[in-house]
Structures are given as C-alpha cells and as structure tokens.
C-alpha cells in the first residue's frame, strides 16, 4: 500500500516537473520569436510613418492648390457680381410686376357676400361688380390685388361658368374676399367718397365690409393661362 502511494507521489512529481520544463521551453521560444520579430515590426512602423508623412505633405499641397483656385473664383465672382446682380434685380422686378412674387404691405380688404344664404355669382358677374371693383382699386393706387387668394394680373380672367365665378381657371364661391395693397390714403378716399359701387351692390342684396390694415399679404400667381400663339419679334 505504501509502495503504491510512493509510486503515485513520484508520478505526480514527474508530471509537475515535466509541466514546468514545458512552460520554460515555450517561454524561451516566445522570447526568441519576439526578439526575431521586433526589428521587422520596427521597420514596418518606420515605413508606415514615412508614408503617412508623405501623404500629409501631398494633402497640404492639394489644400494650397484648392485655396488658390478659390481665390481665383472669388476674384472672378467679384468682377462679374455687378452685371449679375443687375440682371438678377431686373428679373426680380419683372417677376414682381407680373405677379409671380408674394407681396405684403398696407392696404384694404373688402368682403362681398349675400344678405341671405344665396349664390350671388349671377348678380356679381351680371353687373360686373368684381371687374369694376378691381379696375377702380387699380385706378386709386392698388398695386397688387387678389380675389379669394388668387392674384389678379393683366392676364387674369373673371368669368361666370354656370353658377360659379372662375378666376385664372379656378372656381371660386362667395364670400368674395378682395385684397388690395397700395396707397392707403388714396384707397380710403376711394371707398369713402369716390365710388357708388357699394351702394349699388347693397341695393342688389350684396353686403360688403371694408377693413384697412398695415399688414396685408397677397400670394403670387398659382395658376395662369399659358401663352400659345405669341412669338418674340427680333429687333
């Protein structure tokens, strides 16, 4: 029994000794490989640093080139800015006059509606009330006019179709809201002293309300009849 225990003890000692020897051999091998690989890794790092330095230098050169190009573009833009700015201002001016640009300013809002729940389109169009009102507002300082948010321009049509009025190809229904931006003083004199249109409409059962404001907004043209037969004449 004792011999078996002694044998097992010796076997365990041999196993422990063998394990320690194996660990030592592995450690030496690892160190040897590390010593061999160290110069190779070092050379690789130096090469990589050199490549990055060269790339950084190339980037700096490219930045300098692009900066010079930007300076040249800025100089060209400064030279061309005057005629381009003038052309842009002219385009914006004609867009404003043609009614394509939303505008705001002081003016008047006039609302037309029936005394009862009735369609007043026949009376309004038959007596030409909307057309006459638009023309009179223009004559007394209205620079921009809209009816039910539809901009009225020189090419706008106000016509009766069935029992509805059409403006710029779109049906509108009462109440009719007419906005005009312009000289408030002239518009006030027009409403109070220079027209009989409101009395005439009242006699036909159309009531009106008038309100002056310093902040009226009128949208640009939403829809307009296209030109199909015009051709530009050569000068």
Please report the DSSP string for 164-186 in residue order.
EEEETTEEE-SSEEEEEEE-HHH
Bridge partners for 112 per DSSP:
176, 208
Residue, of 182 and 221, whose pLDDT is higher: 182
Span 139-163, pLDDT tens digits: 999 999 999 999 998 888 888 888 8
Bridge partners for 129 per DSSP:
none
Span 182-203, pLDDT tens digits: 999 999 999 988 789 999 999 9
Least confident of 76-80, 209-213, 224-228: 76-80
Alpha carbons 122 and 161: distance in angstroms, whole number? 10
Alpha carbons 41 and 131: distance in angstroms, whole number? 91
What is the C-alpha radius of gyration for the chain, rounded to an integer number of angstroms?
45
pLDDT band at 39 (very low <50, low <70, confident <90, very high): very low
pTM, whole model, 2 decimals? 0.63
């Amino acid at each position: 029994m004792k011999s078996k225990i002694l044998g097992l003890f010796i076997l365990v000692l041999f196993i422990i000794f063998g394990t320690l020897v194996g660990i030592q051999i592995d450690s030496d091998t690892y160190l040897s490989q590390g010593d061999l690989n160290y110069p190779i890794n070092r050379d690789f790092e130096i090469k990589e640093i050199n490549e990055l330095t060269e790339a950084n230098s190339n980037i700096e050169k490219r930045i300098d080139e692009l900066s010079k190009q930007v300076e040249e573009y800025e100089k060209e833009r400064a030279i061309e800015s005057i005629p381009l700015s003038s052309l842009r201002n002219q385009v914006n001016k004609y867009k404003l006059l043609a009614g394509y640009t939303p505008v705001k300013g002081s003016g008047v809002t006039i609302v037309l509606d029936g005394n009862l729940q009735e369609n007043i389109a026949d009376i309004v169009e038959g007596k030409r009330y909307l057309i006459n009102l638009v023309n009179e507002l223009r004559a007394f300082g209205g620079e921009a006019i809209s009816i039910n948010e539809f901009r009225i321009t020189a090419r706008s049509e106000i016509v009766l179709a069935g029992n509805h009025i059409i403006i710029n190809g779109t049906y509108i229904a009462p109440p009719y809201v007419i906005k005009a931006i312009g000289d408030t003083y002239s518009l006030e004199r027009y409403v109070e002293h220079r027209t009989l249109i409101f009395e005439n409409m009242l006699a036909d059962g159309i009531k009106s309300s008038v309100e002056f404001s310093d902040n009226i907004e009128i949208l640009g043209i939403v829809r307009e009849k296209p030109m199909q037969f015009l051709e530009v004449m050569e000068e």
